[in-house]
Amino acid sequence: MQQKRTRGIPAVRGAASAGQRHWEWLAVAAITLAAFAIRAWTVRLSLPFVDHPDEPNPIDYVVQMLRSGDPNPHAFQKPSLYVYLLLTTLTAHYRLGLASGRYGALGQMIVTTHQYTTIPEFFFWGRMLTVTLAALTIVAAFRVARRLAGPLAGLLAALFLALSPFHMRHSQYVTTDVASAWLVLLAFGAALALARHGRWRDYLAAGAFAGLAASAKYNAGVAALMVVAAHMLAAPGRPLARSPRLLAAGLAALLGFVAGTPYALLSWGEFRSGLLGQVQDYAETAHGDFVGAWNLAGYGDFFWNEGLGWVACIAGLAGLALLLADRRRRAAGLIWLSFVLPYLLLHLAQTSHFTRNMLPVVVLSALPLGMAGAALYAQAQAFVQRGKRAWRPALYLFAVALGVLLLLPPALGTWAYSARLQRGDTRLQALAWVEANVPPGARIAAELRPLPGPSESRWAEEAPLTRHELAWYRQQGYAFLIASSEAWRQWSIPPAYVNLAGRPLAEFGGATPRDMLGPRLAIYATGLAARDAPAQLDRAYVGGAHLAGIALGRPDRAAGWLGLRTFWSVEQPLEHDFFIFVHLVDAAGTTVAQRDAPPWQGRFPTSSWRPGTLVVDINDLPLPAGLPAGTYTIMLGMFDPAGAIHLPTSLAGQPTDAIPAGQVTIE
CATH superfamily membership of 531-666: abc- transporter (atp binding component) like domain (2.70.50.60)
The answer to whether residue 5 scores a pLDDT higher than 60 is no
> Residue 233: which H helix or E strand, with range?
helix 224-234
> Binning pLDDT at 50, 70 and 90, where does residue 13 land?
very low
pLDDT digits (tens, 9 = 90+) for 443-466: 999 999 988 877 889 999 999 999
pLDDT reported for residue 14: 45
User: What is the C-alpha separation between 58 and 51, in angstroms, rounded?
Assistant: 14
Mean pLDDT along residues 579-597: 94
The region of weakest confidence among 161-175, 326-340, 369-383, 385-399 is: 385-399
- What was the pLDDT predicted at 115? 86
> What does pTM read for this prediction?
0.88
Q: Model confidence at 371, in pLDDT bands (50, 70, 90)?
A: very high
Share of the chain above pLDDT 70, in %: 95
In angstroms, the CA 74 to CA 71 distance is 9
CA distance linking residue 81 with residue 79, whole number of Å: 6
Enumerate the CATH 2.70.50.60 domain ranges in the chain, comma separated.
531-666
Q: What is the pLDDT of residue 390?
A: 60
Distance CA 411, CA 116 (A): 31
Beta-carbon contacts of 189 under 8 Å, excluding residues fewer than 6 positions away, are 140, 143, 144, 147
Most confident of 64-68, 555-559, 663-667: 64-68
| pLDDT 10s digits, 132-191 | 999 999 999 999 999 999 999 999 999 999 999 999 999 999 999 999 999 999 999 999
Buried b (16+ CB within 10 A) or exposed e, 467-503: ebebeebbbbbbbbbbbbbebbeeeebbeebeebbee
pLDDT at 409: 93
Q: Is the predicted pLDDT of residue 85 greater than 70, yes or no? A: yes
**pLDDT grade, residue 392 (50/70/90)?**
low
The more confident residue out of 3 and 527 is: 527
Q: Dump pLDDT digits (tens) for 556-578.
A: 677 788 999 999 999 999 988 99
Phi, psi of 75 (to 5 degrees): -150, 125
- pLDDT in the model for residue 28: 96
The residues, any chain, with a CB within 8 Å of residue 89's CB and separated by 6 or more, are 125, 126, 128, 129
Mean pLDDT within 521-536: 96
> What tens digit of pLDDT does each residue of 185-235 get?
999 999 999 999 999 999 999 999 999 999 999 999 999 999 999 999 998
Dihedral sign of CA atoms 339, 345, 346, 348 in order? positive
